[in-house]
Amino acid sequence: MPKRLSISLCGIPLKNPVIAASGTFGYGVEFEKILDLNAVGGLVVKGLSRDPIKGNPPPRLWESEGGMINSVGLQNVGVRAFLSDKLPRLRQFGTAVFANVFGYAPEDYVEVVRILEDAEGLVGYELNVSCPNTKHGGIFFSSDPALLAPLVASVKRVSRRPVIVKLSPNVASIEPLAKAAEEAGADALSLVNTFVALAVDARTRTPRIGAGFGGLSGPAIKPIALRMVFQAARAVRIPVIGLGGIASGEDAAEFLVAGASAVQVGTASFWDPQAILRIAAELDAFLESQNIANVSELVGTLKFSGGCG
């Protein structure tokens, strides 16, 4: 990859700012015969929990207008199986690997991170906070700063690696959550996660997703994701990683201009397994066309004078 794409994220050197998003790239090893993992800027593995989870009933995916609805249900092998079966294979590749972590109480997150701490081959953690806190009546960590802050602080106490907090868009205002995560010690933010959505089969009068509701991703959400990334980046001083409908190099450039320091690619990998490398190459071509020496020069350059729509 050209040097103009190289960045440092939370002190972690990346070949380029295009990272494979969690849940769309498996554990990474599934793609080793499809693309050159050594050329990938970074990857976030499928979400890891204390114990294995079977996930939701099928159907789990539905292609919607301009996007995709999924309800996989956080299916995963569990943190210990990841360490024994997946991570050893990932270590042979020269790409930055982040572990996505989730749970239903702060101690779940803490335990998963504690187990991962002694493992080699990881550069950081991404906390999926779009989960209900079962100890507080099912209130989502991602919707209440008073729940989010203690969760982030508890993980930071046991982590020697950078901690990224992945924020949900299913909130009235993103700034209070972004600030709460930063004040609790988060090293970076990533946003947005999927939007809660419903697809209906009018003939059978049933949802098209087995679990009912699912998460909407893809190009349809990009304008809203851009707005929220811009708002979050203005509210905090830590790096923001933007995601939500990125399917081209110019899409990635838009998120950088809006204030993101790096981007993640998710849904695009479903229809184009080479998407993450293609988008990085297209981003490099965009930089060259604009006579930009390094991708970091794009970050936060949006000329914005607007207010409410």
Q: Could you tell me the CATH number of the domain that includes residue 160?
A: 3.20.20.70
Q: What is the pTM of this model?
A: 0.96
In a domain, 222, yes or no: yes
Per-residue confidence in pLDDT tens, the chain, 309 aa: 678 999 999 999 999 999 999 999 999 999 999 999 999 999 999 999 999 999 999 999 999 999 999 999 899 999 999 999 999 999 999 999 999 999 999 999 999 999 999 999 999 999 999 887 667 666 788 999 999 999 999 999 999 999 999 999 999 999 999 999 999 999 999 999 999 999 999 999 999 999 999 999 999 999 999 999 999 999 999 999 999 999 999 999 999 999 999 999 999 999 999 999 999 999 999 999 999 999 999 999 999 887 655
In a domain, 211, yes or no: no
Range of the domain at 97: 3-55+74-196+218-298
pLDDT attached to residue 139: 76
pLDDT attached to residue 308: 56
In a domain, 65, yes or no: no
Residue given tokens 């729509």 in the structure block: 309
In a domain, 288, yes or no: yes
Residues recognised as catalytic: 131
In a domain, 210, yes or no: no
In a domain, 292, yes or no: yes
In a domain, 34, yes or no: yes
Q: How far apart are CA 288 and CA 96, in angstroms?
A: 25
Burial class (CB in 10 A: 0-12, 13-18, 19+), 196: middle
Show the DSSP H helices in the chain as ranges: 79-81, 87-90, 106-116, 145-158, 175-183, 222-235, 249-257, 268-271, 275-289
pLDDT attached to residue 257: 98
Burial class (CB in 10 A: 0-12, 13-18, 19+), 179: middle
Q: CB-based contacts of 290: which residues, under 8 Å, 6+ apart? A: none
In a domain, 68, yes or no: no
How many domains does the chain fold into?
1
